[in-house]
Structure 1
Amino acid sequence: MTKKPKIRVITLGLIQDKNRLFVSEGYDSVKHQSFYRPLGGGLDFGETSLEALKREFQEEVKGELTNIHYLGCLENIFIYNGKPGHEIIQLYRCDFRDRKFYELDSVPFFEGNRQGKALWIEIDRLTSGELVLVPHQLLDFIQKLD
């Protein structure tokens, strides 16, 4: 009997510093494509999306958040490494409490047993399509600076 796919509920934190966005770097080995996504993760049973957001940033980059504002809910249906995925995303805009994060080029992080890298990416590289932001609907929430 095959296991029925599940819809995953996650929370993501959109951290923007002028013309840069703080994202994790991922790679789809089937599409041979790198992609970028804000940090966050899955909710535990009995945990609010806000609590999960704070916990995930603490676990992944040892970062404390401030100025947290709820932006909305997104639905993301996608294919990753050849397998279908479905997420309900609770999206927040936030800042790092510690200014040191804004001075770093990249921050190593751990998500379960996977080591990754979070980094600042110029927003123009994401909006132009040069780099892939997932889910793509996040582009609607990035503040345009003139």
Structure 2
Amino acid sequence: MYPRAKSLGLVIHNDLLLLEQYKGKHSNGEGNYYRPLGGTIEFGERSDWTVNREFKEELGIEVIIQRYITCLENIFKINGDVGHEIFQIYLVDLKEEWMYDKPYLEVKEGTRSSKALWVPIRKVLDGNEFIYPEGLTKIIRDYILS
């Protein structure tokens, strides 16, 4: 098995992060946890293109890439299986300004649907809300808020 290459887009507006909400077991227990929007880089696709494609597929919207932030490697275990992901992280803006006023955005991926919510950055940094992949909280603190 090989590591999976992925790209994520961080959307920040008024000290809020746009994060997809999940429910279930996670490394900090059970309940809600969050992840920025993005997905697997397809063969022959640049990582910034992946961010644009994933936002279009999952939210039906376009984003503007502001800047590349960093690379994050995540090795984890779920139910005894080891996972290995390498993420390219980008800071992005929503192209349509009015979308920032919505309390949540509907995420569609195949037959699955969920919500992307505006989560206060402070709650993430304080450890009151859990975001994945592991190490992303430190990246937000060190690369974006510094």
| Per-residue Cα deviation, 1:53-109 (whole angstroms, up to 9, x for no partner) | 100000000111114311111101123466432100011011001012210111111
Secondary structure of the residue that 1:136 maps to in structure 2? coil
Residue of structure 2 in register with 1:144 after alignment: 145
Q: TM-score, normalised to structure 1's length? A: 0.86
Tell me, in whole angstroms, the C-alpha distance in 1 between the residues paired with 2:103 and 2:82.
32
Secondary structure of the residue that 1:32 maps to in structure 2? strand
Tell me, in whole angstroms, the C-alpha distance in 2 between the residues paired with 1:33 and 1:80.
16
Offset of residue 111 of structure 1? 2.1
Residue of structure 2 in register with 1:70 after alignment: 68
Matched ranges for 1:114-133 at <5 A: 114-133=112-131
Alignment gaps of 5+ in structure 1: none
Q: Which amino acid aligns with 2:55?
A: F
Q: TM-score, normalised to structure 2's length? A: 0.86
Aligned residues of 1:41 and 1:52 also touching (Cα < 8 A): yes
Residue of structure 2 in register with 1:55 after alignment: 53
Aligned residues of 2:65 and 2:90 also touching (Cα < 8 A): no
CA RMSD of aligned residues (A): 1.9
Aligned length: 141
Offset of residue 138 of structure 1? 1.7
Tell me, in whole angstroms, the C-alpha distance in 2 between the residues paired with 1:11 and 1:59.
14
| Identity between Structure 1 and Structure 2 (%) | 35
Tell me, in whole angstroms, the C-alpha distance in 2 between the residues paired with 1:140 and 1:109.
26
Tell me, in whole angstroms, the C-alpha distance in 2 between the residues paired with 1:19 and 1:125.
10
Alignment gaps of 5+ in structure 2: none
